[in-house]
Each structure stands twice: as structure tokens, then as C-alpha cells.
Amino acid sequence: MLNTMAASFFLGWAPILGKLAYRYGVNPFTLAALRTVVAALLLWSVFVLFWRREIKVSWSGLLGCVSVGIVNGFGSLLYYTSLARLDASLASLLNTLYPLWVALFLFASGQPLSSLTLIRLGLAMSGVFLLTWGVTGEVDWLGVTLMIASAATYGWHLVLGQWVMADVPARPGTLYILTAMACVVSLARVVQSPVNRVALEPIADPGWYAIIALGITTALSRLAMFSALRQVGGVETSIGGLLELVVSLVLAFVLLGERMTVWQWAGGALLVLSMLLMSKDPGLLLAQGNEPVEWKHEV
């Protein structure tokens, strides 16, 4: 439970630190690459100094971690590109759609779709409508679409990660997943900058502080999350996911000065209700079986 709450707290900082980095000239692809590289280097340093014996994993386990890292790396590119176009509060709320994508992916793999899942889908769609309809000014539909796609990518990452982490210890699994993510997003950043593939755009010192802080919280959240993977169930995870959302909304209000309309609060309430009902969904509980799975947000 403590690991779940710690992971949620650190993850809640992601959209806030991302928006702060954007204020000081950081490109979304640069942010996704640098924060993941910082997190991976931090983990490698800790492993070399303290957990050297845990670095070794099987080839099959390594391949599984790499596959999870590739999916998660692609999702992080979608997330930070969308975050550059949306308020942090709206982005955080839209990202709570990931449990529904998990249910849809499980349905595609043969898991029956329960009536409660359909109700949750209806609540979530209504929530998204109110969130976008209540926006003051013009809606950035590209940003909204990218964030929904990011949630879908994370949903697939959870399903894939459930299979991989059953055979790989949590700490080395975290190390190799983050390393694969760093490779994917760094390559994407190089490809995205055809004129000057190596040099970074001018970044003010506060932008670097935000990048480093984001890298540290990324490493800490991943360690806490995968440490809790085998212990937590649906109820505890739902509470943790809500904590992450609360942290993001409060920080967006205090540090970024963001405000939401009444209609957006109503839409957010529907999304939260959909998350709470997740712990009662027989489809997800059956899919989890006897091994509880961490259905949490990862950016």
C-alpha cells in the first residue's frame, strides 16, 4: 500500500513538471527523451553501487522488458506532445481513461465484457464530452486525441506488463523497461530534429531543473510501482490512481494557476466515478485472477 501511494504521489508531479519545462523552451520530444535518460542513468547508478547482483536477468525476461519499454516509450511521446497543447488538469483527467482501454484489450483477447464495463465506458465518454465541451475557448482536438491515444497505449502496456512481470523481478524489470524507454524516446527525438540531430534547443536553467526533477520522480515512481505490482489489488490501486489525480489537480491549481469550469468539474467527477467502479468490475477481477495487478497510470 505504501509503495502504491508513493508511486501515485510521484506520478502526480509529471504533468506539472512537464508544463514548467515547456515554459522555459523545452520541446516535447526533448523533454520525453531527457527525463527518461535521467531516470535510466539514475537507476543504473544505484544498481551499480548497491544492487549489482540483481542486474542479471534471463534473455526471455530481457526481451519482455524491452517490449514493454518500447510500448511505454511510444506512449510517453504521445503524452508529452499532448501535454504541450492542453492544460495539465485536463490532460490528467483524460489520462484516467486507461483502465477502460485495459478492459477493451482484455475483451479483444477473449475476456467477456461485463455490463459494468459498458456502464463505465458510458460514464467515461460522458465525462470526456463535458471536459471538452466545458473548455473556455477553442478545443485543441489534436491534443485531446493524442492524450486519449496515450491512455490507450498505457492500457496495452499494462496488459503486456502483467505477463512480463510475472517472470521478472520488480527492480531489474524496472531498470530494463526504463532503459528501453530511454532508447526509444531518444531515437524519436533524433529523428524528429532532422536539421540538427544532436544539439538541444536553448533551455533556461529553470527548464533543466524541471527536467532533472521529472527524471528523479520518474525513477522513484517506477521503483515504487513495480515493487507493489505483486501485492496490491483493484481497490488499493483505484485509491492510488485517485491520489495521483488529486496531486496533479492541486499542483496545477497552486503552481500553474489553472482553473476548470463547472462543466469540466462535472466531467471529471464522471471519470472519477468510472475509476471507482473499476474495483467492482467482474471482468477486471476475473482477468487478474489470483495475482493482483497494478492498474496504475505511468507517463
Q: Quick one: pLDDT at residue 185?
A: 95
Spell out, as residue ranges, where the chain has pLDDT lower than 50.
Answer: 233-235, 237-238, 286-287, 289-298
**Where are the chain's structural domains?**
2-288
The b/e string for 111-136 (b: 16+ C-beta within 10 A; e otherwise) is beebebbeebbebbebbbebbbebbe
Q: What is the pLDDT of residue 207?
A: 94
Q: What does the pLDDT read at residue 215?
A: 96
Tell me the C-alpha distance between 151 and 156, whole Å. Answer: 9
Model pLDDT, residue 128 = 82
Q: What is the pLDDT of residue 290?
A: 40
pLDDT for the residue 87: 93
Residue pLDDT, tens place only, 205-257: 999 999 999 999 999 988 887 776 555 543 454 455 677 888 898 899 999 99
**pLDDT of 296:** 44
pTM recorded for the entire structure: 0.84
Using the structure block, give the residue that is written with the C-alpha cell 529523428: 191
